[in-house]
Every structure is written in structure tokens, then in C-alpha cells.
Structure 1
Amino acid sequence: MTIWYTADTHFGHENIIRFCKRPFVSVSQMDAALLENMWKVIGPEDQLWILGDFAFGSKAKDGAYVERIFTQLPGSERHLVIGNHDLDPTLELPWDSVSHIAELRDGPQNQLNTLCHYPMITWNHARKGALQFFGHVHNNWQGTRNSVNVGVDVWNFSPVTCGDIVQRAGQLPENKHWKNVEQRPTDN
């Protein structure tokens, strides 16, 4: 079983194509591409974690529409970390879990990573190798060495694994405020 992460899919949201310069001519093309990209990598026993903003816009208010998209998601488990655009009927879908924040063991060191729709400057186990995965900022920022954007706009419209995230984290700069908020007692 593999755990996959993504954020900011914005299924049904016509304006996100223009706002984020997504390379799609219509919302139906975008929705189809996002689902196809998920099906290319997510296996039947895998987990999918969507870190907010599953659907948005007028279509997201249509229960039949969001249910139709939801039933096309691959994997054996589908989890939602609530974003600022996740409202009813998205919250009423049969997710395996729904939360505002989650901690999940995954990755090369089986570290306890923190999942939140919003980027954070610190989190539980931050000094013990745990990463923070987020969305919300779309293509405005990839993150830092320890807090990484998992949104579709910076991952070629595909979900990613913790291994992918760890690799990208190693190429990103350290947050310039990291030493201010995560001082070790011996650093004082």
C-alpha cells in the first residue's frame, strides 16, 4: 500500500483555470485530467489524502456532481483535510476521514508528518524530522525544506508520495524564520 497526497484539485471550478494558468480549455477537461493522473499512479490498495479544496464553484454546490467526482477517485481509502473551500456537499461525501489537521506516519524514516491545508511555520515533531504538507497557495510557493506544498499546481496535476515530497524538500530553502521558532534548548 502506498499513501498519495494532493491538494487544491478544485474540481468543477472554471475560474481556477485562469487564476492559476492551468493548461486546460474547460473545467471538464481539467476534471478528467486530474482524475486520469490519479488513476495512472494510485493503486487499488492505496490511500489518497486530499489536503483541501476538493471542489469549488457552482458545480461544487451540486451534490450529484461532487458525488460523481468522488466515486471516480482511485484507491481503497480517501481522506479529506478540510480547506477553505470545502463546504457541503463535499463534507457530506463518504470520506474515510475528515479533519482540519492530521498526523500520519509515512516516508523513509516513518516520521510523523503533519497534514494541513494551510502552510505552517512549526508543528508537532518538527525538530524530529517530521515534515508538514500543505496546499492553499496553489502555484505561488513550493514551500521550504520542511514544509512542502503538495498542490496539483506545483506537481504537474498529479498526486505525490512522501518520497517525492522528501526529495523536493531537500531542494528547497530553509524557512528564514525556522531558527526563531524551533530553537533547541542548547541553542539559547
Structure 2
Amino acid sequence: MAVYFTADLHFFHENVIRFANRPFRGAEEMNAALIQNWNNRVSAGDEVYILGDVTLKGAGRAAEVLSQLCGKKYLIRGNHDKFADQASFPKELFVWIRDYAEITVGNTPFVLFHYPIGEWNGFYRGAVHLHGHQHNHRDYNEKNRGEGLLRYDVGVDANGMAPVSAAEIEAFFFSDLESRPSGQAGGCTT
């Protein structure tokens, strides 16, 4: 079982394509690419923590897309996740829904929140803060690493439009590798 993180998917959201300079002609193309990229990486037994902003649409659209994504899903609410509070949303699509969480994967503590935090629990003890919200690109994560700041934007805009694994984040911060490991770990059908 692998652990993945992602954020800021914004399924069905036309304006995010222009706002975040995404390489798609429309929401339908973006949705298809995000689903394919996710399912190419994530296996059915993997865990995926979504750090907010699944979709601006309602419960029906959220359920439609979430049911196509592999893995056990956890939601850290973002500012565009109102669907999660709608009575018609099938809550069983997530293991849990929270505003904030702290988890440990292997020996690495992770602090999960949709928004970037200046200092977090474990800031001085090697905890890595994962967030979304800002629609940063890879240079943001590189800058944080260069400054010794263990803060990482897991949003799709900063990670090739796909979830990023805990192992990749650990290697990014804690190894002498020149680049993060790549590779297609998963692959499942829904």
C-alpha cells in the first residue's frame, strides 16, 4: 500500500484552467486527464489524502467523479468543498472528512491542511506541512526546499496534474537525489 496526496483538482471548473494556466481546452478534457493521471498512479489498496478543492459543483457531481478514482480517499476540506456538507453526498466515498489532520507515514510526520501555514506542529522536529490552495507550480516547492522549509504544495498544478506519493515527498526533502523519483506505481480500474 502506498500513500498519496493531492489538492486543488477543481473538477468541472472551467475558470481554473485559465487561472492556474492548466494545459487543457476545457473542463471535460481536464476532468478526463485528472482521472486518468490519478488512476495510472494509484492502486485500489492505496490511500489518497485530498487536501481540499475537489469541485465547486454539488454532491451529485462530486460523487460522480470521486467514484471513478482508485484508492481509499480522505478529505481535508478546502474552501470549495461545500458538497461534503450536503445531505445527498454519500459520505462513504471518504474514509473520513476533516478540516486538519496530522499523520505519520513511515518515520515522517505530515501536517495536512488546505491552506499553507507559517509554522506547524513539529515545525522544528522534521514534520512536513502539506497543503494546497495556492495553485503553485513546482518552483514553489523547490524554493521551500532551498530555504530549508519543510512545506510542500501537493496540488495538481505543482505535481504534473497527478497525486504525489509520501515516498516522493520524503525523497524530495530528505535524500541527496537530484530529482524526485518518478514512475507509475499504481494502475487500477474502477
Mark yes or no: TM-score above 0.5: yes
1:85 aligns with 2:83: no
Greater CA radius of gyration, 1 or 2?
Answer: 1
Name the counterpart of 1:179: none
1:90, distance to aligned residue in structure 2 (A) = 6.6
Q: Distance in 2 between matches of 1:133 and 1:48?
A: 13
1:67 aligns with 2:63: yes
Q: Distance in 1 between matches of 2:46 and 2:13?
A: 26
Question: Contact 2:62–2:83 (CA<8 Å) still a contact in 1?
Answer: no
By relative contact order (CA 8 Å, sep 6+), the higher-ranking structure is 2
The 1:162/1:89 distance shift into structure 2, 3 A limit, reads: closer
Counterpart among 160, 165, 169 of residue 169 in structure 2: 165
Q: Distance in 2 between matches of 1:90 and 1:48?
A: 20
Per-residue CA shift, 1:132-181, capped at 9, x if unaligned? Answer: 0000010263362301101000101010111212333469xxxxxxxxxx
1:128, distance to aligned residue in structure 2 (A) = 1.6
Question: Contact 1:8–1:138 (CA<8 Å) still a contact in 2?
Answer: yes
Root-mean-square deviation (CA, aligned residues, Å) is: 1.8
Name the counterpart of 1:183: none
Per-residue CA shift, 1:47-73, capped at 9, x if unaligned? Answer: 0110000112xxx13x32211101011
Gaps of 5+ in 2: 176-190
TM-score normalised by structure 1 residue count: 0.81
Counterpart among 128, 153, 167 of residue 131 in structure 1: 128
1:101 aligns with 2:105: no
Equivalent residues in 2 for 1:1-16, closer than 5 Å: 1-16=1-16
Query: Secondary structure in 1 aligned to 2:79?
Result: coil
Question: Contact 2:10–2:54 (CA<8 Å) still a contact in 1?
Answer: yes
Gaps of 5+ in 1: 172-188
Instruction: Report the AA paired with residue 111 of structure 2.
Output: T
Q: Distance in 1 between matches of 2:5 and 2:82?
A: 20
The 1:153/1:48 distance shift into structure 2, 3 A limit, reads: same
Query: Secondary structure in 1 aligned to 2:124?
Result: helix
Q: Distance in 1 between matches of 2:70 and 2:7?
A: 15
Per-residue CA shift, 1:86-142, capped at 9, x if unaligned? Answer: 1025763421111111111114xx222100001111111222211000000102633
Name the counterpart of 1:149: 153
Q: Distance in 1 between matches of 2:136 and 2:45?
A: 30
Question: Contact 2:108–2:170 (CA<8 Å) still a contact in 1?
Answer: no
